[in-house]
Amino acid sequence: MPFKGVDLEEIKHSKQLRAHALRVMGFVNKAVARLDRPDKLIPLVQECGKSHFYYGANIKYIDYVGPQFINSIRPSMEEENQWSPELEEAWVLLFQHIAYLMKTSMRNEMHQ
């Protein structure tokens, strides 16, 4: 992991972390746009999992992205009175689905 052993204050100002966060946001945008097209969504997520395998990403960290994403967007949406338990559940379920598909893809690559 590129941030292992790095001071928390340095991580907060990391251009590498910021770039990854922007890629995650772009990916989530693509995934949401394909929610009604599983034939497009599933391969997109599987390819992301495959890429993460070859980048050497640790599979256990995949489950952390969803909660962090939700914790990031919730405050601004609460300020606008746009957050609800149903919306949170929808985000949680989306990220659980994404994590499942990514981890399955990563495991498949391990066994090839």
Write out pLDDT tens, residues 26-55.
999 999 999 999 999 999 999 999 999 999
Residue 110 near residue 53 (C-beta atoms within 8 A): yes
Task: Return the pLDDT at 2.
Answer: 62
The full set of domains in the chain, from first to last, is 8-110 (1.10.490.10)
CA dist 52 and 33 (Å) reads 21
Condensed to tens digits (0 to 9), the pLDDT of residues 56-91 reads 999 999 999 999 999 999 999 999 999 999 999 999
If DSSP codes are grouped into helix, strand and coil, which group holds residue 60? helix
Task: Return the pLDDT at 70.
Answer: 95
Give the tokens for residue 73: 């967007």
Look-up of token digits 């391990």: 110
- Mind giving me the DSSP string for 5-51? T--HHHHHT-HHHHHHHHHHHHHHHHHHHTTT-HHHHHHHHHHHHHH
CA dist 96 and 91 (Å) reads 9
pTM, two decimals, is 0.86
* Confidence band, pLDDT 50/70/90 cuts, at residue 9: confident
